[in-house]
Each structure stands twice: as C-alpha cells, then as structure tokens.
Structure 1
Amino acid sequence: MFSGLSAFPLTPMNAAGPDDVTFVRLIENLAEANVDSIGALGSTGSYAYLNRAERARIARLAVQHAGPVPVMVGIGATSTREVLHLAEDAQQAGAKALLLAPVSYQPLNSEEVYELYRNVSHELSVPLCVYDNPRTTRFEFSDELHARIARLPGVASIKIPGVPADPQAAKERVERLRKQIPSHVSIGISGDPLAATGLNAGCELWYSVLGGLFPRTALALTRAALAGDSEQAEQLSRELTPLWEMFHQHGSARVVAAAAELLGHVEAPCLPAPLQALNNTERTTLAALLDKLALSR
C-alpha cells in the first residue's frame, strides 16, 4: 500500500463532534476513485482535536466504507501511553497501517523521538509510517535519525515534507535519504505544491491533502509521474499553481475545508474550533479558482 496516491480526507465536524455521515461520503468517494490508499486522521483529518473515542469511531468508519482500498490511521498523541492506546484501537478497527508523528507539548529531542518509535513499533501487528512534519510538530528529523527509525521492526514508509523546488536538488535530497534507509522502506512526499517534483525525484508515493477531496485530479498527476512522464506531472502541477499559493498562504487544511464547504460536500463550519476556514473575501477568491480549475472528484 506504500506506493501511488495516499489520499488524506477531512474529518468534517459539527456542533456534536465528527460528522459521521459526511465523513463516510468522503471515504466512499475515495474508494470509488480507486486511490491506492486512504490516510484517515492525518493532519487534514484533525486528529489532534479529537478524543480517543472519536478517533476510534472514525477509524472504524474509514475501514468499513473504504471497500478494498487499504486504510492508514493516524495515531499521534503527546504521550507514548496514549499513542499505544490509539494504535490498539486503530488495529482493532482493521487499519492496514498506522501513521505516527512525534507530537509534543514539551519540545522533544532526537533520543526521545527514537524511543517513541521504538516503543510503539514493538507493539504493532501492522506497518508503521513515520510522519515527518516539522511545520506542525516543530521537530526536525535528521537523515541519521530517519535511518535509525527505519530499521525498527514494522517501519515501512517515511512521509517527508516538501523537497527543494529545483529538480536536481530534489533528486539529490531523495537519493541522500534513500542511501541511509532500508530498501523496503518507501519514501512518500507530502507538501502538495511539490508533489510532482518529489515524485519525479524518486519518491514512491504522494501523501496528498488535495487527493482527499479531489482524488481523480491527484491520481492523474501521480500516475503521470510514476509512469515516467515527468513533464506531464509538472504541467498538471503548474496548472494548480494558484491553489498551491493559497495552500502556502492559509494552510492546506483550511483551504481544502473551505473548498469542501463551498462545493456542498460538507456543512459549514467543518473544522474543529478554534480553527476556522477562510474568510468571506478569501472564499470568493477560492470559489472563482475552483470554478476555473474544475477539479475532478
């Protein structure tokens, strides 16, 4: 499951908590689009804002409605004890893999992060994906730390942030990491604006925010890159430049949430308070952009 397009949907919220009915519709859309995997309860899925019971329910719903598409479930939390509880819940729900970011309140050092992954990996019966997300966690992985963690039992993928924009520099960055980790551990690009560059540089999959709402658009870019058509992949990404600019300005989760609201796929507001999607002026800009791009769900 660690190749191709891994689509990360929203977990729509309402006054009572997660909106199960709307979430199921998003999952079913991804299954119908035949994405390669689904990433439930990632950052776009607002995992950090949900309690354990809500997260367990969302994991079950994702697995139940994904059909044959494998589901990876995020288990990040501030304590190893809670991470292990969440891992147990996700595995019982039928998750095929787990996604773990080094979430913290007190800043973590490298040895603490290694011990987190070591303790968790020894308790799992499904593969683990390392979530390298310094913008959110404020923790910077070194390649050496990635190498240590990648040799733990069950570690199967590393979800890296964006690569350099220059294609040669991106290739060199991916090759540097690849040389230090086992061959069975895949490297996946997140940071949607640089997805084409990362895939063309040697990443095996795209962990995609855009794909969670517009899977067919994301699949077209992914398939082109993995088929070796780097020019087509870059062209498809260039066409999305105004959307990538909004991602940079406001954060991808806010933009995708506003897009889902504007298109009527979720009720507004769908983000967990205090998070807010875009304001009225920004929504007007996004609405015009969505109309122009005509993205495929």
Structure 2
Amino acid sequence: MFTGLSAFPLTPMNEQGIKEQEFTQLVARLAQAQVDSIGVLGSTGSYAYLSVEERARVAKLSVESAAGVPVVVGIGALRTRDVLANAEHAQQAGAGGLLLAPVSYQKLTDDDVFNLFSTVSRAISVPLCVYDNPGTTHFTFSDELHGRIAELPQVRSIKIPPVPYNLEDAKARVARLRALIPNDVTIGISGDPAAATGLLAGCEAWYSVMGGLYPELALALTRAAQAGDAEQAQTRSDALAPLWALYHDYGGSLRVAATIAELTGRASAPCLPQPLNTLQGEARQRVAAVIEALDLH
C-alpha cells in the first residue's frame, strides 16, 4: 500500500449529481491498466464539493469498479465529525486506505492538525495517508509536525507537495523528511511535473493526476524510476512538458484534467461542480492542440 503509482481520477458531476457511469468507467480503466492503487475523492476528485452521502456513494462505486486494485479514499472535511463519518463509510465500502487533508475555513494551528490526525488515526482500521497540499488547504506542514503525526497509529504515508526540480536538492528535501519519520511510513510525491524527480530522489509513491487519465504513460514513468533508470524516467517526463505547461499556465491540474476528459470523451460537459468551469475559448483550443501533439487520445 502507498507505493508505486496511485492514480487519481476525476469525479465527473453536474449540479444534479455524480455521473456514475462515467466515473466507474474511469476507475475500471485504471484497474485494467493495473495501477498500484486508485485514489478517489482527492482534489482531482472534487471531494470538497460533495456531501457526506455523495462521498459514501463514490467510495462504494470505486471499490466495486476497481477489480481488486486497492482504493484510497479521501476523507477530508471541515469538521472532524464529518471526517470520521467519511472514514467509516469508506471502510464499510472496502477501501484499502484513506487520505486526509486538514481542510479549514478558519486558519488551523499545528495542534489543531495534530489533534485531527490523532483522533482519526485512533478511530480507523485501515492505513492512512497524510495529504500535505498547502495550495488548497492553506496549511503548511513543518517536517517536525509530519514527524509527530507519522508516529500515530495507522499513518503509513505522507503525500508531499512538489520537490525541487534539481535532483540533488530534491534528494536533500526527501532526506530531511525521511530522517524524522518511521521506516514504515512512505513518502509520496504529488505534482505531476515533479514526479520523475521525486521518485528518483527517494519517494516511494507518485500520487498522480495524469495517472487518472493516462495510467499507461504514468506507469511507464513510475516503473523506470523504480528501476533506477533516471534517464528514461526523465525523458518520459520531459516528453510531457507541453502538458506540464498547461498545469502551470492554468492554475493547476484540475481544470486541465477535466478539460482533457471532456475533449477526449472520458467525461461529458460539464464535469466539474459549479462554480468551477473547465477551460474555454483559446485555453481550450490550446489543450486540444496539446492532446493532438502528444497523441493523448
């Protein structure tokens, strides 16, 4: 668990509800590609926009469609009571692991976040991944706080933000965190453009948005890095530079991934929760051009 490629699909939806058939088709495709795990209800899965009941339904559909591939379910919410409810529903559905971000409206303190993870870790029976995503939560973990949380029961992975692109700097960043956490807690890289560097620097997992759409491409990069083939891993990442540029220019991966899903028929429009929208106009034309140039059909 929490090693290799964890592919994160979209949760296609409109204001009437989740597009269940489209979602299960995305999950089934990941299972067929034999990714190491499937991560649902992460940021790419728009977890923050769904009710507790909708999230329970997504967890159930995920496990049913995953053909035995472990499913990691995001459980983050504003209130601890809802986090615990999400955790219980995910476990009842058969989730292999849970993913928890410290979601907030009011600014959280380190003690708030530690107490959240302490409460949840003692209430669950499956492994837990710490979701460190300051871009959405606006909470910044220190390595020392990660070290405290990593000692809690059931905590088995930390999903970190992108590492520096210089490999030596990336290795140093991973080593600093590794020195503070138990050996049985993995470090996973997020931020697709930094995946090759992160894996080569010592991260054991890649929590991937691109993997949710193109699992074969993401697996090839992951396996090259796991085999220590730095040249092949970096070459595969460099070949996707036009895609990474879209992430950079359009505010992250979610809108880009959702736009790709609409343009390639993986999801019908609209597929994001309002008020979010996929890219339109010239931006959408640019995404279409990258799909053609990289043969991302």
- 1:295 Cα offset (Å): 3.3
Alignment of 1:1-297 (within 5 A): 1-250=1-250, 251-295=252-296
Mapped partners of 2:14, 2:50: distance in 1: 12
SS of the equivalent of 1:31 reads helix
Partners of 1:74 and 1:231 in 2: CA distance: 33
CA offset at residue 73 of structure 1? 0.2
Residue 15 of structure 1 and its aligned partner are, at CA, apart by 3.5
In structure 2, C-alpha distance between the alignment counterparts of 1:14 and 1:22, rounded to whole Å: 12
Count of aligned positions:
296
| Percentage of matched positions with identical amino acids | 62
The structural deviation recorded for 1:288 is 1.1
Q: Which runs of 4+ in 1 moved over 2 A?
A: none
Indicate if the aligned counterparts of 1:217 and 1:295 stay in contact, CA closer than 8 A: no
Residues 56-80 of structure 1: per-residue CA shift (max 9 Å, x gap): 0000000001012000000000111
Deviation string 1:74-123 (CA, Å, 9 cap, x unpaired) is 00001111100111111001101000000001010101000000000000
Distance in 2 between the 1:14 and 1:8 partners? 19
For the 8 Å contact 1:170–1:198, the answer to whether it is kept is yes
Per the alignment, in what secondary structure is the counterpart of residue 78 of structure 1?
A: coil
Q: Which runs of 5+ in 2 are unaligned?
A: none
Q: Distance in 1 between matches of 2:181 and 2:100?
A: 18
Contact 1:189 1:205 in 2 (8 A): yes
Instruction: Tell me the secondary structure at the aligned position of residue 174 of structure 2.
Output: helix
Q: Shift in Å at residue 248 of structure 1? A: 1.4
CA distance in 2, matches of 1:48, 1:249: 23
In structure 2, what is the Cα distance between the partners aligned to 1:177 and 1:123? Answer: 26
| CA distance in structure 2 between the partners assigned to 1:280 and 1:208 by the alignment | 27
- SS of the residue corresponding to residue 179 of structure 2 reads helix
Partner SS for 1:130? strand
Q: Secondary structure at the match of 1:164?
A: coil
Name the CA distance, whole Å, in 2 between partners of 1:82 and 1:2. Answer: 24
CA distance, structure 2, for counterparts of residue 254 and residue 72 of structure 1: 22
* Residues in 1 aligned to 2:44 and 2:2: alpha-carbon distance in whole angstroms: 19
CA distance in structure 2 between the aligned counterparts of 1:6 and 1:59, rounded to whole angstroms: 16
Secondary structure class of the residue paired with 1:39: strand
**3-state secondary structure, aligned to 1:237:** helix
Q: How far apart are the structure 2 equivalents of 1:136 and 1:15?
A: 22
* Structure 1 SS opposite 2:277: coil
Contact kept, 8 Å, 2:15 with 2:274, in 1: the verdict is: no
Q: Deviations over 1:232-285 (max 9, x none)?
A: 111111111111111112120100000000001110110000001101211111
Q: Secondary structure at the match of 1:180?
A: coil
The Cα RMSD (Å) is 0.8
